[in-house]
């Protein structure tokens, strides 16, 4: 713990981004985020729909990828209050019993899972009084529990609310920049995980970076 804070950048956390979007030409924010993420050095980027257009996900390859990384990012648009189907398929078959969970299933233990998602409704809509009736974290509880069962830490999700109108509102560039900073901070272990644990969601303006990282910035 102490040596990581002492020498930031010396031990890079290995980060992998799983991107799932079934129709790139209809994307408002995700394709831009994905492009930016691919340009971040030192992280692994996987476009699941491109890698497995016929859904024939290779469990052994995916498990090896997971073994080689410490931080797993799911980047996806919320659709029907869930992940796109390929990401669910990925969870269904890659997170095997005896490997990811259950007896002897400790291979993901200690790793971290972060959801980077976009939602059509506004932040107000995702509240007890909003028209979606529940906060966004409620809709992400399946992922949160999945992480928990795999003994992974579930970080506060990085969310773009009102994604449908974000282009008109000009909020995309800031969100993309924030995404890149988040990925870099994860990679360099500069995200203040304790602070992040106390937050509901992360946004480009509310990234809890460690003091020395802020100082560097």
Around Cβ 39, how many Cβ atoms within 10 Å? 10
Site membership for other proteins, residue 75 (CB under 8 A): no
Q: How far apart are CA 107 and CA 101, in angstroms?
A: 8
Please tell me the count of residues contacting other proteins according to CB under 8 A.
23
CB under 8 A: which stretch of 10-18, 61-69, 108-116, 123-131 binds other proteins? 123-131
Q: Select the residue interacting with other proteins from 9, 53, 98, 211 (CB under 8 A).
A: 53
* Residues paired with 114 in a beta bridge: 73
Q: How far apart are CA 15 and CA 113, in angstroms?
A: 10
Site membership for other proteins, residue 135 (CB under 8 A): no
Nearest CB to other proteins, comparing residues 6 and 25: 25
Site membership for other proteins, residue 7 (CB under 8 A): no
Q: Give CA separation, 154 vs 6, 52, 177, 198, 211, in Å.
A: 24, 26, 22, 12, 22
Q: How far apart are CA 49 and CA 11, in angstroms?
A: 31
Site membership for other proteins, residue 50 (CB under 8 A): yes
Site membership for other proteins, residue 130 (CB under 8 A): yes
Site membership for other proteins, residue 10 (CB under 8 A): no
Site membership for other proteins, residue 129 (CB under 8 A): yes
Q: Select the residue interacting with other proteins from 8, 105, 120, 135 (CB under 8 A).
A: 120
Pair 171, 123: CB distance under 8 Å: no
Restricting to residues 23-42, which ones interact with other proteins according to CB under 8 A?
23-26
Q: How far apart are CA 69 and CA 161, in angstroms?
A: 28
Which stretches of the chain bind other proteins, using CB under 8 A? 22-26, 49-51, 53-54, 77, 79, 120-122, 125, 129-131, 162, 164-165, 168
């Amino acid at each position: 713990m102490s040596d990581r804070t002492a020498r930031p950048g010396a031990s890079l956390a290995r980060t992998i981004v799983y991107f799932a979007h079934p129709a790139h030409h209809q994307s408002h924010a995700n394709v831009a985020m994905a492009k930016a993420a691919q340009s971040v050095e030192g992280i692994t980027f996987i476009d699941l729909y491109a890698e497995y257009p016929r859904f024939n996900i290779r469990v052994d390859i995916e498990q090896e990828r997971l073994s080689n990384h410490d931080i797993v990012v799911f980047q996806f648009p919320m659709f029907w209050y869930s992940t796109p189907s390929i990401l669910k398929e990925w969870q269904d078959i890659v997170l095997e019993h005896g490997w990811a969970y259950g007896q002897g299933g400790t291979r993901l233990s200690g790793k971290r899972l972060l959801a980077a998602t976009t939602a059509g409704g506004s932040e107000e809509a995702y509240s007890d009084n909003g028209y979606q009736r529940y906060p966004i974290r409620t809709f992400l509880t399946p992922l949160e529990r999945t992480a928990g069962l795999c003994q992974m830490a579930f970080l506060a999700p990085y969310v773009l609310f009102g994604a449908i109108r974000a282009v008109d509102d000009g909020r995309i560039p800031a969100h993309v920049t924030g995404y890149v900073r988040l990925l870099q901070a994860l990679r360099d272990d500069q995200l203040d995980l304790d602070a992040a644990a106390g937050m509901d969601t992360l946004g480009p303006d509310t990234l809890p970076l460690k003091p020395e990282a802020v100082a560097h910035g």
